[in-house]
Structure 1
Amino acid sequence: MSWLFGSALASTMVTPERALTGRDGYAYTVPTTHTVLGTPLQGPWPDGTRTITLGMGCFWGAERIFWQLPGVVTTSVGYQGGYTPYPTYEETCTALTGHAEVVQVAYDPAVVSDADILRTFWESHDPTQGYRQGNDRGTQYRSTVYTTTPEQAAVAEETRAAYQERLTRAGYGEITTEIRTADEAGPYYFAEGYHQQYLDKNPGGYCGIGGTGVSCPRPLDA
């Protein structure tokens, strides 16, 4: 899935001045319904539903991990964290938009907690790899957490610290995950329809997601 447009672009975040201009709206139609869960892709969702946006490499495999969790209302894939408004996939792959490939997870916190979502995130990829994930290289494949509530932000920091201890013991380096509020990261842009629930439509398709094998601590689990 990796599109490489030169090692310099792949390993360096674009500046706002150099970012692609983008457009005023989507250049494609965004689907309305999740093909697996049958729920609205863009809402509205039940009262109390929370959202969080997570980048962990190729968004095809990342999305499948989360739509399988109990309590998840819907998932979608998109682009966030950069500068270019309404980017396309091809533009994002040039590393000239600044966006990461991300999965937006809408969930019922009474069924699946913020900590459950974040532990799944940490354990499902290697957050120490910087601007790459496995064979996928480029700033769009960086590890990100974009939160929408203070509680999520607090749990993100707490679980990062706890996971870093485990990773260090296992011989891994420092976590490079970018943790910001969704407001700081900027708008979330839905990806093209063929990317949504890609591995449901293409069961044998490329996944690219692999964890470290190190578990993230749960409460009282040091």
Structure 2
Amino acid sequence: MALVRCHQLVQRATREHPATRPTPESARAAADALLHAWPDIERDTGLGVRLRAHTRALRTRTSPAGSVEEWLWQPDGHPVLFRAGTSLGGSGQVKAAVGYWQEMARTAGHRLGPDHPHTLTTRHNLARWRGETGDPAGAANAFEHLLTDTLRILGPDHPHTLTTRRNLADWTYESGDTAKAVEVLSTLADDQERVLGPDHLDTQASKQVLRLWRDELSDG
């Protein structure tokens, strides 16, 4: 899929003309188009740069009727906002990704409330990219706090809860606390087997890693 470029003067005229200035409907349509153009796997670095730039430009637009940023959070956050953050981190800009997800977490908490699933998602992504910057202890601590809220809001058997527990185990291990990581992952593997079944890929992966970590403790 190709992106169509438009001269800046034409863009400005389109934004400012009463018949074509941004509206909630046109803003969401533009966001939908960006999301549709975004490949699941970004093999074209330049395309990712352009899509993130277009998303950023879209978010900053305003009109007499309101701001596009506000419209994109109605009713609960357009997926392109989340895709842009994932793309940013995936491009290797991990520090920028931390800043992006910090802003997203604040905005989601304000607009959607602290218990909204999308707010939990922003916190999850923030914790992940914090770890990727070289702060595994900070990531583990963030996932531990997130898990408390995820358990309360979504329940112990929700897929997002299980994923949060796996991330907590992984970053705890990366922070150097193998014994605690084994404890977290052991309990998770039992629950994954109960909820997902013994043959599920997530269950099998947890058990395989658990064996490696236990061997590491034994060798130590």
Q: Bin the TM-score by the shorter chain.
A: under 0.3
Greater Rg by CA? 2
Higher helix fraction (1 or 2): 2
- The alignment's TM-score, normalised by the length of structure 2, stands at 0.26
Higher strand fraction (1 or 2): 1
